[in-house]
Structure 1
Amino acid sequence: MVNIREYKNGDEKGIIPLFNQVFDTNRQEDYWHWQFMENPAEKPIIVVAEDDSKVVGQCTLLPSKMTVKGEEILGGQSIDTMVSNDYRRQGIYEKMAFTSYDMGIERGIKIRFGFPSKPALQGLLEKLGGTLIADIPLYLKVYRLDNFLASIIKLKFLSKILAIPGMLLVRLIYRETKINIKEKYEMKEIQNFNEDFDKLWDRIKIDSPIMSNRDSKFLNWRIKDHPNIQYKTFGAYKDGELKGYMILKVENRKVKGKFDIKLGSIVDMIAINEDVILGLYNKSKEYFKDIKTDLVVCWATDSMKYKDLFMKLGFFKTKSEIPFVVKDLIGNNELENLIIDERNWYIMPIESDIY
């Protein structure tokens, strides 16, 4: 008989192999420990399904401090939800999820949020009472085409020749508007997030009705100490004061399983105004070009404050979308009305555990 219970020390010895089996990957224990045990927000909610001392399922709420209308609350992101193939269609996922909700409420978590896969989305909405806030569009900018074409043509010299008219066509269709920066900023590469970022966060956190906290503790855990990803962060300073930052990620990816590209992502960006964002993007653009990045992507909901700027910079909306789902756990009508309105959220990939 399957038993649903709270995580206990040592369960990761069963959780990690199950994760690797279900998601066909090779997660290591150091990553799991960083993700769940080093999170500076709060102790995680981890619910497991166990059959005869064997972990056969898991459901989690990873705590996240959030500022909602100027008030700090605790949210919980649902990640790494899984059930062993042999135990599916038995209602185990639903039992784990509702148990995690009850535990979350006891520990002060007021909302649940997540970025479910498309296959998991319908069940989440119908069975667990979540609300789809947005399908977050992915915006893309083409930096170069020769590497992509080389994957198809195989003749390097020919791919370089064809890339020239290809890029001219891209630039003609998705024109980049020349925008002058109004101020002069000192751009610094950030190795460690210090009190400058706390001061910036205190200034920024009321700019949007709902934002996940971006203080130095969170950024050092999420970005600097990430065990698998090396991010690049640029900070914009004026008169010695941090005015904004942009966090980047670059990875080698296969498109449709066969085309090798170097893909850049804008993982996070906050600033006191659009001019600072423009300066940070120009610095990031230099970096992307120096390391020969092929494509760069960013998230932008319909109401995202910098969406129009990035479209002017040559980014265009793709067909790729990331579902964003939330649920009010405490039955507060005022809170629910806030969180189900996409216009209230400032959402970036830093919120998602896959970036």
Structure 2
Amino acid sequence: MTRTPEITLREFTPADGEAILTAFNRIFAEVQEGFSPRSLAEWRWRFVDNPAGGRASLALDEQGRVLAQYAGLGVRLLLEGEEVLISQSVDSFCDPAVRGGLARAGLFVQAGRPYAERHGFDGEGEDRLMYGLPVPGAWRVGRDQLQYSMLSPLWRLEGEAVALAGLEADTDVCVEVGDRVPDGVDALFEHAAAGQPALVIKDRGHLGWRYDARPEGEYLWLRALRNQELVGWMVLAAGAVEGRQALWIMDSLVVQGDDGARRALMAAAGRQARDQGLDTLACVATDACHEWDALQQLGLRVVHSGYSFAGRSYVPRRPVAWWAEHISLALGDTDLL
């Protein structure tokens, strides 16, 4: 009689990086076309160096090999004036070789449930919301067994680089190109956050980690100045999302109503795309985007992407429908690029 192997479920530690990557790189190479193996430096950037913390629940066999992982990246959020945590679910997997066995059926769920119990709670230091972009199979399992709900479609907005480069900008706004977080981002975020019910915190700590410190990322900064004061910024990256090659707006911030700064940044981004030989400038947005009208007035058109955000709320008075109405997520709030 064959003995049923023992499965251990536990939280990850920084020392687990190589074991996780051995399984992650092998499994994703089998299912994802064009997959590039992840380095240990990239893994540590995500799960160890993240100022909001990394989380992962692992399922291991008796030899310590990782069979399944349910993981997420912490995100700091300003929720009605209070700094709290939410998380983006990423990099979850289950070894195809153990999905079908009866003793191991639901191993993905077995890893996911303790993850949710450990990290999802309406309290200090816990995740008030978990969100992600699940593939169809993970969505079905999450909906049926892990209480996922649909949060928002992910919309794509795109425009012709040459046309955007020709936008006339206010002469009192100067846009400069840089390679790192500009000075003044904290004060600008504080100004922009006033009165917002839910806003991902885009301060120097977050931006420096997300863009400047990423080992496998190449990003370009634009900073908009008026009288030498920072009035807006934008982060750009060339690449493909859903097979669409473009210069992508990863993230940007302008105080609501400052159309001059927004227009100047968009024109500068169009010039960057044109100069890089790219026909398209694009970004993504959720239903709660505050700049829908402004972006379309500047010449971007809305296209439905193939992605949708799923989520689970841990705040009783804030169901997923509330988050869908109030939280705006950018491309930089995903790990797509």
Percent of aligned positions with the same letter in both sequences? Answer: 20
Q: Which string of whole-angstrom CA distances, capped at 9 and with x for unpartnered residues, describes residues 6-35 of structure 1?
A: 113432221102111221131111110111
Secondary structure in 2 aligned to 1:193?
A: coil
Residue 344 in structure 1 maps to residue 332 in structure 2: no
Distance of aligned partners of 1:74 and 1:301 in 2 relative to their CA distance in 1, 3 Å threshold: closer
Give the deviation of 1:61 after TM superposition.
2.5
**In the alignment, is the contact (CA less than 8 A) between 1:246 and 1:280 conserved in 2?**
yes
CA drift of 1:91 comes to 1.1
Pairwise mapping of residues 61-72 of structure 1 onto structure 2 (< 5 A)? Answer: 61-72=72-83
Report the AA paired with residue 348 of structure 1. Answer: A
Measured in 2, the distance between the counterparts of 1:190 and 1:131 equals 39
Aligned equivalent of 2:234? 246
Q: What is the CA–CA distance in structure 1 between the aligned matches of 2:65 and 2:250, rounded to whole Å?
A: 37
RMSD: 2.5
Q: Scaled by the length of structure 1, what TM-score is found? A: 0.82
Counterpart CA distance in 1 for 2:87 and 2:239 is 28
Q: 2: distance between equivalents of 1:347 and 1:187?
A: 24
Equivalent positions of 1:322-333 (< 5 A) are 322-329=307-314, 332-333=315-316
Q: 1:315 to 1:86 in 2, by over 3 A?
A: same
Is 1:119 the counterpart of 2:102 in the alignment?
Answer: no
Task: Indicate the SS of the match to 1:76.
Answer: strand
Among residues 113, 135, 143, which one is paired with 1:98 in the alignment?
A: 113
Q: Distance in 2 between matches of 1:224 and 1:282?
A: 23
Deviation at 1:323, TM superposition (A): 1.1
Rounded to whole Å, the distance in 1 between the matches of 2:116 and 2:324 is 22
Q: State the secondary structure of the residue aligned to 1:327.
A: strand
CA distance in 1, matches of 2:218, 2:87: 25
Asked if 2 retains the 8 angstrom alpha-carbon contact of 1:133 and 1:340, the reply is: no
Cα separation, partners in 2 of 1:122 and 1:275, compared to 1, 3 Å: farther
Runs of 4+ in 1 over 6 A off after TM superposition: none
1:159 paired residue number: none
Q: Distance in 2 between the 1:50 and 1:216 partners?
A: 37
Residue pair 1:208, 1:345 contacting (<8 A) in 2 also: no
TM-score (norm 2): 0.86
Structure 2 segments unaligned to the other structure (5+ residues): 1-5, 30-34
Counterparts of residues 254-273 of structure 1 (less than 5 Å) = 255=243, 262-272=245-255, 273=258
Offset at 1:179? 6.6
Tell whether 2:326 aligns with 1:316: no
Question: 2: CA distance between counterparts of 1:236 and 1:114?
Answer: 31
Alpha-carbon distance between aligned partners in 2 of 1:192 and 1:139, rounded to the nearest angstrom: 25
* 1:208 aligned onto 2:196: yes
What is the CA distance between 1:208 and its match in structure 2? 3.2
Indicate if the aligned counterparts of 1:301 and 1:307 stay in contact, CA closer than 8 A.
no
Structure 1 residue 212, shift from structure 2 partner: 1.2
* Structure 1: unaligned runs, 5 residues or longer: 145-170, 256-260
Q: Alignment partner for residue 191 of structure 1, among 174, 179, 202?
A: 179
Change (3 A) 1:208 1:274: farther
Q: What is residue 152 of structure 1 aligned with on the other side?
A: none
Deviation digits for residues 192-215 of structure 1 (CA, Å, limit 9, x no counterpart): 325511111111123532221111
Please say if residues 4 and 50 of structure 1, whose CA atoms lie closer than 8 Å, have aligned partners that are also in contact.
Answer: yes
What letter is aligned with 1:131?
S
State how far apart, in whole Å, the 1-side matches of 2:219 and 2:159 are.
19
Deviations 1:251-290, CA, capped at 9 Å, x for gaps: 26894xxxxx852111111101333111100111111111
Is 2:284 the partner of 1:299? yes
**CA shift for structure 1 position 249:** 0.6
- Do the aligned partners of residues 129 and 202 (structure 1) sit closer, same or farther apart at CA in structure 2, a change above 3 Å counting? same
Is the contact made by 1:61 and 1:100 (CA closer than 8 Å) also made in structure 2? no
Instruction: Specify which of 261, 276, 281 is matched with residue 261 of structure 2.
Output: 276
Distance of aligned partners of 1:115 and 1:208 in 2 relative to their CA distance in 1, 3 Å threshold: farther
The number of aligned residues is: 316
Q: Which residue of 2 aligns with 1:45?
A: 55
Deviations 1:275-311 (A, max 9, x none): 3111100111111111111222211334422222322
Describe the SS at the equivalent of 2:181: coil
Structure 1 residue 336 displacement after superposition: 2.6
